[in-house]
Amino acid sequence: MRKELENTYIKNPDGGLTVTARSRAGEIVKFDVDPETLKHPLPDGRVCELIPVIPNIVLLFPTEDLRGKVDPEKIMTFAARLTQSRMRIANLLETIDEKKIKQILEQTIMPNKHYSVIEKFSFLYGIEGVSRAFSHQFVRHRLMSPEQQSQREVDPLNPRYPDPWFEFVVPPSMRHDKDMFVRYVEVVKESLAAYQVARKSGADPEDARMFLQNAAATRLLVAMNARVLFEFLEKRTCSLAQWEIDIVATKMFEITYPWIPSVLKFAGPSCVRGPCTEGKRYCGLPLKPLHHYIGLESMPHDFPFDPKDQWQKTALEKKTKGREFKVPKTTWWQGPEEPQVIDLAEVAGAEVEEESEEDFS
């Protein structure tokens, strides 16, 4: 689980940019970028503004004005009760109250993984400020229903736009060093220049877009039911998830939690409910369910394993049986350059057991 710094990019009055980033050592770094660095002149005299962006997610349905009128958890509870009741539908609905909702969802449905009933309500999200690299991962979750902004239909340098702009994403590992950031922007300019030449020579947008980078920003509209969301969070809030999709997943969780708290209080990586499913790639950072971290600026991935943390210690003892392993450097700000080696037998006081490679495959 990761969070973006809210003030990552602040536009200055002179047109320049103040960049705030977290360094590899965990320190907050700030620097200013010259206005000219973010401008790309076009042959027709226009100037294309280059805009670095960060993920932004909006819950489009249900909206706050529907609070009290639409109750996702009541619908889910009704679906569960319907399977075991002889009552007519109208009468059955009247029997469902807050106490019944919490009892059924929190004590039966979610602990026993009867997830079919939570499929009965869907959410609609608007996602922007993300890269094409992100979207290629995102659409692998095939049970959701996405729509994406087309690079074929949306030409960033279209002559009809008097003030063209081009949005792009800068990875955190290239954001905390000014020289690296400026060089990154120059490469974005080079790709735009090549795109521009291709279009001028007569290439169709669908062909010219091959010059654009994976860093090019895109927008998506996606509908997913609560079960798909729950399983998406399990995979994409894991410490091994790519940083961008992890941030999106964390934000989706935060804006959806108020609507289905009895469901999402169980959400998080596989390690919050049992053994890690990543096998040999186990990160060594067992987490609590996601709702423990709502509103916190610092997330668990910001810190290395703490052997004094009783929760982590107990989880490691149960999940790894004293096996020694290396914590991979899974995020750009996590820990030192060398992998952190933890002897779990020493940490947890457990005896090391002989285990075959298949046990962790």
Catalytic residue IDs:
236
Structure tokens at 44: 């027709």
Structure tokens at 350: 């457990």
DSSP 35-82: GGGGEEE-TTS-EEEEEE---EEEEEES-GGGBTTB-HHHHHHHHHHH
- Give pTM, 2 decimals: 0.81
The residues that bridge with 126 in the sheet, in sequence order, are 58, 221
pLDDT tens digits for range 219-251? 999 999 999 999 999 999 888 889 999 999 999
Which amino acid type is present at position 356?
S
Domain boundaries, the chain: 1-268, 272-361
Higher-confidence residue of 51 and 278: namely: 51
Structure tokens at 162: 């008097």
pLDDT tens digits for range 1-36? 677 776 799 999 998 999 998 876 678 899 999 999
pLDDT tens digits for range 160-212? 888 999 999 999 889 989 999 999 999 999 999 999 999 999 999 999 999 99
What fold characterizes domain 1-268? Gyrase A; domain 2 (3.30.1360)
Q: What is the pLDDT of residue 315?
A: 56
Q: What is the pLDDT of residue 149?
A: 96
